[in-house]
Amino acid sequence: MRSKVLIVDDLELNREMLSAILENDYPILEADSGKKAIAMIQKYQEEIAVVLLDLIMPEVDGFMVLEVMRNQSWLKTIPVLVITAESKAEVESKCFEMGVSDFIKKPFDNAIVRNRVKNIVDLFLYKNNLEEKVEKQTETLKKQYKLLVMQAERLKESNVRIIDILGTVVECRNLESGEHIKRVKSFTRILAEQMMNDYPEYGLNQEKIEVIVSASALHDIGKIAIPDNILLKPARLTKDEYEYMKSHTTRGCEVLDNVEGVWDETYSKISYEICRHHHERYDGKGYPDGLAGEEIPISAQLVGLADAYDALVSERVYKSAYSEDEAFHMIVSGECGVFSPKLLECFRRVKKKFEDLNHELKKKQEEFR
Amino acid sequence: MTLRECYEKLGGDYEGTLGRLSSEKLVQKFVMKFLADDSFALLEESMAAGNYNEAFRAAHTLKGVSLNLGFTRLYENSNELTEALRGGEKPENEALLGKVKEEYQRTIDIIQELQNG
């Protein structure tokens, strides 16, 4: 508890006069030089409630004491009241500039000294308590914030893990090769980054792209609900079979509905969009909902194109692989899917990147075999 | 001699000082202590040694004490000398120290009279 009053004056008579005023209310410390004053403040930092300071002293004067108190940040918690016979106005303003709380000119009135000291002591007691409280609360808030960041990080990890687990389910059933999922993810990333760059109106950013890329692994999750005789049929599907096949989009959404609530909203929303809408067409003739133009979520548009491209350049049970050039022209000409002009523009710009990636991945695949 | 008579003889401000220091006992106590204060001796020494910075501080101290104790004349004389010494200058008016000395001596004499009853 701060309660002590430090009286700094080189003249004993002056210290006694001040002490007489205050000794009934506060324990008094005295210093007869600036040097001793500094040593005492250092020693009793937590106990001094106020310093009564004389300005004109030999060697270390009142201004030097103030300077030290300011540099040591003592002035933040210990107020200084200057008492002097100095009548020059510039001395008073210099004192206030240096951070003193009050300035009393001699001759002083005992009652006024007593009241001003009381006011300053009470004010600083209140201020110090308040600051201590704020500091504690800030500390608590910081801790809580850290915890929140950690939890958000964990949540994000678990979101990614859920997607990976679901993605593995698709792979395990050997519907598409694991490579298809990896390639779709990579093509999606290339397209999305180009899109972010060229068309800011889609509001893409690195964070959203991570979610889209990650969720693209689930685009065909609905296929786990399609019977093998349709899914793996090494020939053209009948009309009914094809209709059934198309339901993998809505069936995928049903699968995702079951994980709803377990993962983050952003992840579930984007995964849902991709599952349901990656076979929509820009002209409205796609499925399952016949969405047209920008009604189709950008996530689904990106994955739709990446999926179509990969299907073309890959070998499937029912077809052999097209060359990269053929695949490129089929998509750009609208022969395979109908995409937004902006998306197609991006696709043209990343043609080379797609091809490089395709080479690289195919090479790896062959090495693996 | 009463304290009031002492102040009258000094030409000091008794009422004002009593009002500020709030009790006669306190005023008397500090007036007596003034006898033992060596600010004037320090002033005289430092003037003689040509140390005007120290002389300034001593004059300033004397001015402050006499101001607070209501020794009006001593305050006026020491204030004049203080301003002349400000910045560590040698005072142009060499009579100033003499004026302070004269008033200081007179003050001490009167207080001693009070002390002796």
Q: Give the domain-ending residue among A79, A109, A132.
A: A132
User: Which pLDDT belongs to residue B94?
Assistant: 85
For chain A, give the percent of residues with pLDDT over 70.
97
| Alpha carbon distance A110, B17 (integer Å) | 10
Whether residue A308 sits in one domain with residue A178: yes
Q: Which chain A residues are closer than 8 Å to B29 by Cβ?
A: 20
Q: Write out pLDDT tens, residues A196-236.
A: 999 999 999 999 999 999 999 899 899 888 888 888 888 88
Q: Write out pLDDT tens, residues A226-239.
A: 888 888 888 888 99
Q: Write out pLDDT tens, residues A43-83.
A: 999 999 999 999 999 899 999 999 999 999 999 999 999 99
Q: Write out pLDDT tens, residues A276-300.
A: 999 999 999 999 999 999 999 999 9
Please report which helix (H) or strand (E) contains residue A103, including its range.
strand A102-105
Whether residue A78 sits in one domain with residue A19: yes
Structural domains in chain B, CATH included, are 3-115 (1.20.120.160)
Q: Write out pLDDT tens, residues A261-282.
A: 777 788 889 999 999 999 999 9
| Alpha carbon distance B42, A362 (integer Å) | 100
Residue at A162 is within a domain: no
Q: How far is A104 from chain B (nearest CA, A)?
A: 12
Whether residue A341 sits in one domain with residue A195: yes
Query: Is residue A275 within 8 Å of residue A221, measured between CB atoms?
Result: yes
Nearest CA in chain B to A111: B20
Q: Write out pLDDT tens, residues B9-35.
A: 999 999 999 999 989 999 999 999 999
Indicate if the pLDDT at residue A175 is higher than 60: no
> What's the whole-number mean pLDDT along residues A125-147?
92
Mean pLDDT of chain A: 91
Q: Write out pLDDT tens, residues B35-92.
A: 999 999 999 999 999 999 999 999 999 999 999 999 999 999 999 999 999 988 888 8
Residue at A148 is within a domain: no
Q: Tell if the CB–CB gap between B20 and A107 is shorter than 8 Å.
A: yes
Q: Which of residues 29-48 of B touch A (CB under 8 A)?
A: 29-30, 33-34, 37, 39
Q: Which chain B residues are closer than 8 Å to A12 by Cβ?
A: 37
Q: CATH number for the domain including A313?
A: 1.10.3210.10
CA-based nearest residue to A62, from B108, B66, B60, B34: B60
What is the total count of domains within chain A?
Answer: 2
Q: How far is B88 from chain A (nearest CA, A)?
A: 13
Indicate if the pLDDT at residue A10 is higher than 80: yes
Whether residue A125 sits in one domain with residue A48: yes
The ipTM is 0.90
Residue at A199 is within a domain: yes
Q: Write out pLDDT tens, residues B62-71.
A: 999 999 999 9
Parent domain of A314: 173-368
Nearest CA in chain A to B28: A17
Secondary structure letter of residue A202 according to DSSP: G
For chain B, give the percent of residues with pLDDT over 90.
85
Nearest CA in chain B to A56: B57
pLDDT category of residue A163 using cuts at 50, 70 and 90: confident
| Alpha carbon distance B12, B39 (integer Å) | 19
Residue A232: partners with Cβ closer than 8 Å, 6 or more residues away: A317
Residue at A282 is within a domain: yes
From the list A127, A223, A352, A362, the catalytic residue is A223
Whether residue A177 sits in one domain with residue A126: no
Q: CATH number for the domain including A19?
A: 3.40.50.2300
Whether residue A196 sits in one domain with residue A307: yes
Indicate if the pLDDT at residue A174 is higher than 70: no
Residue at A138 is within a domain: no
